[in-house]
Chain A
Amino acid sequence: MKKLVKSKEFGVLMVLVALIIFFGIASPQFMKAQNFFNISKQIATVGICSVGFCFVLITGGIDLSVGYQISLDIVVTAVMMNTLGLNWAVACLIGMLLGTGIGLVNGLIIVETHVAPLIVTLSMMTILKGISYLITNGLAIFKFPDAFVKLGQGTIAGIVPISLLFLVAIIIIGIFILNKTVYGRYFYAIGNNVDAAKLSGVNVKKIQLMAYGLCGFFTSIGAILMLARLNSAQSSTGDGYEFNCLTACVVGGVSSNGGKGTVLGAIIGCLIVGVLENGLAIMNINEYIQEVIKGLVLLVAVIYDTMSLLKNEKVKKIKAINVEN
């Protein structure tokens, strides 16, 4: 219990619990198991993309091209299945390769040219948007094989959404990479102090490249799940998702300056946003009031999290002084 209270995610977890309790009291429909599965379906793509986004943020970077990576991944996978008639599994594989490739290109440009990640990925976002619209001419591509659509819409035993399983698997992989591998430690090291990491013998370029590559890879998985859920591909799909991911990560305690944050935190951030949107919709709250409430809750979540972190650090400092004395 003490470990949980002291954990970095405790603050945002409490915000999430408070929201769930509030909506549970306000609407009896909210607390039903089916609704939690709905929320999991609704946040699956953002959740998966946020894991990759979290890696990039921890290394001190940012990837603003995530939204249109989703768009292009979706469109290309859809074209492979519908226009070219490829098997859906092969099409998905190509989509994932494309996503990873885009991530690696982002990383390569950043590490080789030293241009700020914000600028590089912003430019990439525009390029990807253009390519996506060139492919579709703005029109929709739809109706995919049933087996594929089940990835996004199907359930196991009629209850558990398949997309939830993907989300859980990606979270576990993300946590494993960040906490149990040397690369995870390198991500934090680079994000905390890139020069110190370099002097310590960390291959900074390789690790940064890996972070962007992983971000692209996870984004492509999220995109494919979204395509299966919508059963339709449009170039406008994914627009603005980079900010959804950024919001989820920052609310979940991932520092936008790098070096701090966890995958679990990012997912809790995602859940806060998802629960908020779902709960307000179930309560049938007016659209504009929803925006105000969402903004306020996110602000409170960030303030509460930051203050509890500061408090923990203060306690640590006092303890350290006591030990010295």
Chain B
Amino acid sequence: MFKVDLKGHVGSFRVEAAFQGTSGVTSLFGQSGAGKSTITNMIAGILRPDSGRITVNGEVLFDSERGIDVPARARRVGQVFQDARLFPHLSVRSNLTFARWAGRRHDTRSLEEVVDLLGIGHLLDRKPGGLSGGERQRVAIGRALLSAPRLLLMDEPLASLDQGRKADILPYLDRLRSEAGIPILYVSHAMEEVARLSQTLVIVSEGKTIASGPVAEILSRVDLGRATGRHEASALLEGVVSRIDPEWGLSSVDIGGQVVQVPGLDAPLGEAIRLRILARDVAVATSEPKDLSIRNALAGTITSITDESGPYTEILCRVGDQALRARVTRASASGLGLAPGKSVFLLIKSVAIARRQRAPALGAELTDATGQQTLV
């Protein structure tokens, strides 16, 4: 649990941030230059805010009113940087244990545990110079984990990796999320990573945090289009793999009683998963369609329609207790007589889910009665 409420500046660039995160992943999302790194640098103690308060688990790291400004080295905020920043003259092992021998930090986690979690056992005696980008990031994550952090800051940890490497490292981030047991603040401008990993989403635009809340809720807010990016407009559907059809290579995902078929999904039966559906991949019909190649038609109700002057409009719908967004032309919305309260069918091409989302075949957390994150 951490709370951030700060105002500050770097040169003439002003930032203003107010949000909180619980256990699990809180993502700070915004376009490049929106001020995400400035905010995280203030949390880490590298930059000093002008005013405000930062607490982690109730402990104050910064409080301008009480004159508290804990130095970076005493904050116990583990950092993973985009460029890894491993010490090039030290072996992977010495990098991992750096906090122990140079920082006198003693973590309850053992080196073996972290090495297993990240799959870096075979790298221990090598130098950072000989590692691939993905390996370096895993070592950097391990190094931060072994510094007894109360909060883990990950600043665009995947941004410098190519697609293949990203796919390699994402499963480790999933494991980290469920096993690290500390809150993670994940900074990114890539919506697909954010949608996949986070519980809480904070949107940053022009130096300010303009919205924060549960990820599905924030993604379904059409008023944030400018900050989240038009092309990226999307919604999250959470469901459980209910059937696997190996003959056609399709998996059925149960979304509150309705079914979405996803090709090439690499998740076992009964696994809870998250599907990110881009608004531009969703079409709207007023009656149940027949004779269509599109196999996914979800019944829903329109909750709102954006009032735009351009050729497009965005339609927000309820599907069971979840939300879905559709981006259609204003002309077709008007032709179909779409209006809030109307029952519609939302059509999603299965191919779109597979190709664009790289199938988030991961354990999404469900919150049980005790508020504990569990992997289903």
Partners in one complex: no
